[in-house]
Amino acid sequence: MRGLMWFRRDLRLADQPALSAACTECDQVIPLFVFDDPLLQSKEFGAACVNFMLGSLRELATSLEARGLALQWRRGDPVEEVVRAARDWKADVVYWNRDYEPRAILRDQLVQRELERMGLIVRTFKDHVVFEPQDIRGVSGEPLQRYSAYRARWWAQWSTHKPRALPVPAALRSSKQAMGLPSSPLPSAEELGYASFDPWIEPGEQQAWKRLRWFCEGPLHRYGTGRNIPGIEGSSKLSPHFRFGTISPRAAILAALKTLRKGRAGVSRPDVFLWIDELIWREFFQQILAEFPHVISGPFRREVAPPVREPGHERDRLFQAWCEGKTGYPIVDAGMRQLRQTGWMHNRVRMIVASFLVKDLRIDWQSGERYFMAHLLDADVAANNGNWQWCASTGTDAMKGYRIFNPTLQGKKFDPDGLYIRRYVPALASVPTANIHEPHLMALSEQEEARCRIGVDYPAPIVDHRQAREDYLRLSTQKRTP
Ligand SMILES: Cc1cc2nc3c(=O)[nH]c(=O)nc-3n(C[C@H](O)[C@H](O)[C@H](O)COP(=O)(O)OP(=O)(O)OC[C@H]3O[C@@H](n4cnc5c(N)ncnc54)[C@H](O)[C@@H]3O)c2cc1C
């Protein structure tokens, strides 16, 4: 039997359910990747994300090559290309791992329908999450809308099912798998219409494992405090790897739990479980997107509409300042500059900049959501949408719009010495720690001494937070009162 293995957001060999099944069930396996031209042309994702994907694909191609399989790739509309590839290579079965984004669900339905019409077998697998939306339900079978309930159910399922990770398929090493198809070099980012960008987090399956090992040996055991400090290596930075499936969430969770079983000194149970909770958040948002696809185009809670300023020059000026990291709030500016320079931003800072955009600047959260998608290495529809809605208080969170981060206090609390700010806003590098979160309060002589003239080297605050907060609350209240 000949199998076509369609790689998508699962660019790895280990714990790869579709690949394992293909290698076990077929005499010949053809690995395929399709560059989705319409999606690439839409520029929904940016150069950082595309270059990370390409780097991961290159490593996958090398790993397959070492086992005698040439990764085939095509470019175009995925529905047409997969069907054509299956026909050209006379496949009997087509394998893939499932995706839960509404447009991916639609795409996969179309491919499946066409392949089955041609008499081919389609085999799909759970992979991208530990538990699929239908695995985690409330007592009457309803999808869960609160994270706390979802989390409790998730852990109950984990205890019952005790998930395991699959090894790299042994059958992959057998020469009978290869079909002798030639390999051709993958396209460059430029050929796909994107600038080349050296990913700040190294792509590929081997790097994912290296990063996971580094994290489990160190930062994991201080995660509770470390994860909130943007100036240190406190979190795993595995998000682009989970996004492109260069490592599976099962393998990562099992590795984290293993550090507890090893019982090393300094191993902290609460820290390990807190980290796994973040991966449960990831699955929660996948589930929300799959079950409530209206979140793509509007608020999860349809009745909520945060107040937004009128379109026009002022709104555009403020949005531009936010994008460029020129708001005059150092922690916001450091975050936005980190994003532009590296394609990544620390989670605490993502929350601060999102709150600032929606609540201080009163700009619609969808503009921020789109900007993040176009710049993040880990750009993921479900995680990005779920988090933006959380920050805009339109999402699943019970809190009704009154969580407004004070960017200055957040900066003082989580970057007290300004380590992170100084790294990404060089104009503030010599500002004394006492002024680092409010440089505009420096006297002229202090500005001269710090070589940071407000309004010249670094902007004054574009809004007054206290006033902006009051305005937001007043306008929110007005909106809610009929
Ligand atoms: C406004 C906003 C937009 C975001 N957009 C994205 C996005 O497009 N893609 C993305 O992967 N994450 C997004 N996040 C979530 C979070 O910021 C990143 O997942 C996290 O910063 C990644 O860093 P890490 O890998 O070091 O995480 P760790 O702290 O090591 O956590 C481990 C993993 O858990 C998952 N995770 C952690 N926090 C969250 C969360 N709040 N929601 C969902 N999953 C989480 C990630 O896969 C992460 O790699 C966003 C958060 C905010 C506030």
Candidate from 237, 278, 355 with most ligand 1 atoms within 8 A of CB, to mutate: 278
The rounded average pLDDT for each run of 10 residues, N- to C-terminus, in the chain (482 residues) is 97 98 94 97 96 98 92 97 97 98 96 98 98 95 95 97 94 68 92 94 98 96 96 98 98 95 79 97 97 95 89 97 98 98 97 98 98 98 97 83 90 98 98 98 98 98 98 82 42
- Ligand 1 nearest atom to the CA of residue 279, by list position: 34
Residue type, 6: W
- Ligand 1 nearest atom to the CA of residue 241, by list position: 49
**Which residue's CA is the nearest one to ligand 1's atom 17?**
347
Q: Show the CA angle centred on residue 187, arms to residues 182 and 188, nearest 5°.
A: 145
- Ligand 1 nearest atom to the CA of residue 388, by list position: 1
- The CATH class of the 129-165+204-291 domain is mainly alpha
**Burial tier of 431 (Cβ tally within 10 Å: 0-12, 13-18, 19+):** buried
Specify the DSSP element, H or E, that contains 94: strand 93-97
Q: Are 457 and 427 in contact (CB under 8 A)?
A: yes
Beta carbons within 8 Å of 126's beta carbon, 6+ residues apart: 17, 97, 98, 132
- Ligand 1 nearest atom to the CA of residue 368, by list position: 1
Q: Is there an atom of ligand 1 within 6 Å of 241 CB? A: no
Predicted local distance difference test score (pLDDT) of residue 481: 43
454 - beta bridge partners? 458
Pull the structure tokens for residue 264. Answer: 């090393």
Specify the DSSP element, H or E, that contains 384: helix 381-391
d(CA 348, CA 353): 9
Residue intervals in the chain for CATH 3.40.50.620: 2-127
Strand order in the sheet with 72-76: 72-76, 28-36, 2-7, 93-97, 121-125
d(CA 441, CA 108): 56
Q: Is there an atom of ligand 1 within 6 Å of 329 CB? A: no
Predicted local distance difference test score (pLDDT) of residue 176: 62
Backbone phi and psi for residue 137, each to the nearest 5 degrees, phi listed first: -135, 160
- Ligand 1 nearest atom to the CA of residue 240, by list position: 11
Q: At what angle do helices 365-375 and 330-342 cross, to 10 degrees?
A: 40
Beta carbons within 8 Å of 273's beta carbon, 6+ residues apart: none
Pull the structure tokens for residue 101. Answer: 């984004």
CA-based torsion, 155, 158, 164, 165: positive or negative: negative
The β-bridge relationship of strands 72-76 and 2-7 is unpaired
Predicted local distance difference test score (pLDDT) of residue 303: 84
Q: Is there an atom of ligand 1 within 6 Å of 348 CB? A: no
Q: How far is the CA of 380 from the centre of ligand 1 (A)?
A: 9
Closest Cα to residue 29, out of 80, 84, 69, 76?
Answer: 69
Q: pTM for the whole thing?
A: 0.96
Residue intervals in the chain for CATH 1.25.40.80: 129-165+204-291
**Which residue's CA is the nearest one to ligand 1's atom 3?**
384
Pull the structure tokens for residue 408. Answer: 């200055």
d(CA 382, CA 216): 26
- The CATH class of the 313-480 domain is mainly alpha
Residue intervals in the chain for CATH 1.10.579.10: 313-480
Distances from the Cα of 356 to the Cαs of 321, 386, 435, in angstroms?
12, 17, 20
Q: Is there an atom of ligand 1 within 6 Å of 238 CB? A: yes
Predicted local distance difference test score (pLDDT) of residue 482: 40
d(CA 414, CA 409): 9
Backbone phi and psi for residue 412, each to the nearest 5 degrees, phi listed first: -65, -35
CATH superfamily of 2-127: HUPs (3.40.50.620)
Q: Is there an atom of ligand 1 within 6 Å of 389 CB? A: no
